[in-house]
Structure 1
């Protein structure tokens, strides 16, 4: 996709005249389009990539000032895109997104230079705040954080999807009885 600019920009990510280029790398096409539109409305000049290979190619052509990178992409890890950005430009402000959050990956992303690590589904406001926070600023605690039951349910759903919706394999990976898993999958998501 090509770079697009915002017609009527709302909030400006930085001081006027500064480089507001933003690369968003995510293989979820609807999410990618929504986030790109939301970031354009906040004053960024957005470029999009749907794979690790495409992201790295765009970074090599023109490293952005800001980047939002999904950690798990169809053709590999978003950490490769972060490394490519750091090779070209050390001042890029990077936020990592993932639906597969764990401590080890968060630590790796931060060591590679990510500013923040947000779990999907993250909204545009959270991403904007993470990209534009000043050094040393702490993110606010969410007003309505997910309940423990919801976090558990989301994790089970992610493992289930990564096992291509195979209940037996999911139960084995989660060290859970198959019937218990089937009951959980049959229920609606907790709030």
Structure 2
């Protein structure tokens, strides 16, 4: 097998975004493979051993967290960065626990992602924000925590939150996330 030290796997279901990301990383000297979801990712892992991965948190009906877990089990040394429009504390914590190196909210640039690959350790000098948390933010984070727990199953999330499914759908539509 060829040297795959600069082999990057992008697990992203948005074809336009993954194509743009692929071209940008190829210009930086990476060999890039793209998988639209967990099944395609498994096919790639049968023949290749990427050193880097960028995983979208929401892959259609699937959760990118399961991909992070699988990639980390496949190679604990793989540099995995999670990208998401569904940023929440709960999913960030889960992504890191499952083996991601970093968690970035979209839109993130290629520079941001590459910098995240290079950060192996946490930063104890990171400034602590004294931002008060609003009720809406707490609700949003709780919704996304339960969404992650249910692999983004809207009906089950609504049931666990004691909320009507349509109410949850409306809340999710109000905060358009990509």
Q: TM-score range, shorter-chain basis?
A: 0.5 to 0.7
Query: What does 1:106-145 align with in structure 2 at a 5 Å threshold?
Result: 106-136=92-122
Q: Is the 8 A contact 2:80 2:101 kept in 1?
A: yes
Alpha-carbon distance between aligned partners in 1 of 2:16 and 2:25, rounded to the nearest angstrom: 14
Answer yes or no: is the 8 Å Cα contact 1:27–1:50 preserved in 2.
yes
Query: How much does 1:20 deviate?
Result: 0.7
TM-score by length of 2: 0.67
Please say which structure displays the higher CA radius of gyration.
1
Aligned residues: 143
User: Structure 1 residues 174, 27: CA separation in 2 closer, same or farther (over 3 Å shift)?
Assistant: closer
TM-score by length of structure 1 reads 0.62
Q: Which has the higher contact order (CA 8 A, sep 6+)?
A: 2
Q: Equivalent residue of 1:110, what SS?
A: helix
Cα gap change, 1:59 to 1:174, in 2 (>3 Å): same
1:84 is aligned to: 70
Name which of 30, 33, 36 aligns with 2:16. 30
**2 CA distance for matches of 1:51 and 1:113?**
18
- Find the aligned partners of 1:60 and 1:104 in 2 and give their Cα distance: 31
SS at match of 1:135: coil
Q: Tell me the secondary structure at the aligned position of residue 83 of structure 2.
A: strand
Deviations for 1:86-127, whole angstroms, at most 9, x for unmatched residues?
A: 222110000000111111111110001111101111111111
Q: Secondary structure at the match of 2:32?
A: strand
What does residue 173 of structure 1 align with?
168
Matches within 5 A, 1:149-160: none
Distance 2:116 2:14 in 1: 20
Match of 1:104 in 2: 90
Q: Any unmatched runs of 5+ in structure 1?
A: 1-16, 142-151, 164-168, 186-191
How well do the aligned residues superpose, as a CA RMSD in angstroms?
A: 3.5
What is the rounded CA distance, in whole Å, between the counterparts of 2:105 and 2:20 in structure 1? Answer: 17
